Structure 1
Amino acid sequence: MTRTETYRCTVERDDEGRVIALNVHATDLEGGERAVRVNGYRALHVAAGLHEILRDARLRGQDWTSGQPLTVDPQLGAHAELLLRAVKPLQRLDRITTVATGVAAMSREEAAYWHAQVTRRNGLRALRLLLAESSKR
C-alpha cells in the first residue's frame, strides 16, 4: 500500500454564483494538515488559473460549481496549493494576474519543483520574481 498526500479543493460562491473564495486543504504523510485560502478580489482573478490546473482531473462542470470539496491527486493538489500560496500575500492586481497565469501555465514537474522550494526561506519570493521577469519578455 502506497501512502500519499491528500488534497481537497473547494470553490465558494455567493448567491449569484460568483467566486468569493478558493481553498486547498492538504493532509501530509504524517497526518499533519495545512490549508490555504484566497478570498475577495484575489479569488476572482485566480479562479481561472485554478480551473485550468484542475481541468486535468477530468472534473465535470457540475463538480466545479457544486461547492463540495474536490479530492484531487497529489500532483494536481500540489500545483493548486502552489498557485494559492503564491498569490495570497499580493495586493496589486497586475501582479496577482501575472503570478496566477505563470503558475497555472507551469508543467507538472516545474510545479512540483516550486512546491518543494516554497517551504524554504525566500522560495515564494524567488518564484514571484521569476514570474515577474518572464512576463516582461
Structure 2
Amino acid sequence: MTRSEHYTCAISRDEDGRIVAIELRVKDLEGRTREIRVNGNHAGHIAGSLFEVLRSGGIRGRQWSSNAPLQLKPALGIHAELLLRAVKPLRRIDRITSIAEGVAEMSREEASYWHAQTRHRHGLKALRILIDGGVRR
C-alpha cells in the first residue's frame, strides 16, 4: 500500500451561488493537517483557474457545484494547493488573476516541482516572478 497526503477542497457559496471562500486541507504523512483558505472577492477571482485545474484532473461541473468537499488525488491536490498559496498574500486583483491563470496553465510535473520549491524561503516569490515578471504597475 502506498502512503500519500490526503487533499480535500471545500468551496463555500453565498445564497446566490457565488463563491465566497475556497479552502484546501491537507493531511500529511505524519498525520498533521495544514490548511489554506482564500476568502471573499479573491476567491471569486481565482475560481475559474481553480476549476480548470480540477477539471483537468477529472473533477466535473456537478462535483464543483456541489456543497460536498472534493477529495483530490495527490497530484491534483498539489496543483490546487500551489495555486492557493501563490495568490493568498496578494492584494491586487490583476496580479491575483495573472498568477492564478499562470499556475493553472502549468503541467502536473511543473506544478509538483514548484510546490516543492515553495518549501524554500523565496520559492513563492520566485514562482510569482516567473509567471508575471514581478512587474509592479
What TM-score comes out, normalization by structure 1 length?
0.94
The residue correspondences of 1:1-137 to structure 2 (distance < 5 A) are: 1-133=1-133
Amino acid corresponding to residue 19 of structure 1 in structure 2: I
Give deviations 1:46-104, integer Å, cap 9, x for gaps: 00011001003322322111121100100000000000000000000110011000000
Counterpart CA distance in 2 for 1:58 and 1:81 is 17
Gapped regions of structure 2 (runs ≥ 5): none
Amino acid corresponding to residue 117 of structure 1 in structure 2: Q
Give deviations 1:82-136, integer Å, cap 9, x for gaps: 000000000001100110000000000000000001111011111111111299x
Aligned residues of 2:14 and 2:20 also touching (Cα < 8 A): yes
Aligned residues of 2:57 and 2:76 also touching (Cα < 8 A): yes
Offset, 1:8: 0.4
Number of residue pairs aligned between Structure 1 and Structure 2: 135
Percent sequence identity over matched residues?
A: 56
Amino acid corresponding to residue 2 of structure 2 in structure 1: T
SS at match of 2:133: helix
SS at match of 1:131: helix
Structure 1 runs of 4+ with >6 Å offset: none
Counterpart CA distance in 2 for 1:26 and 1:132 is 27
Gapped regions of structure 1 (runs ≥ 5): none
What TM-score comes out, normalization by structure 2 length?
0.94
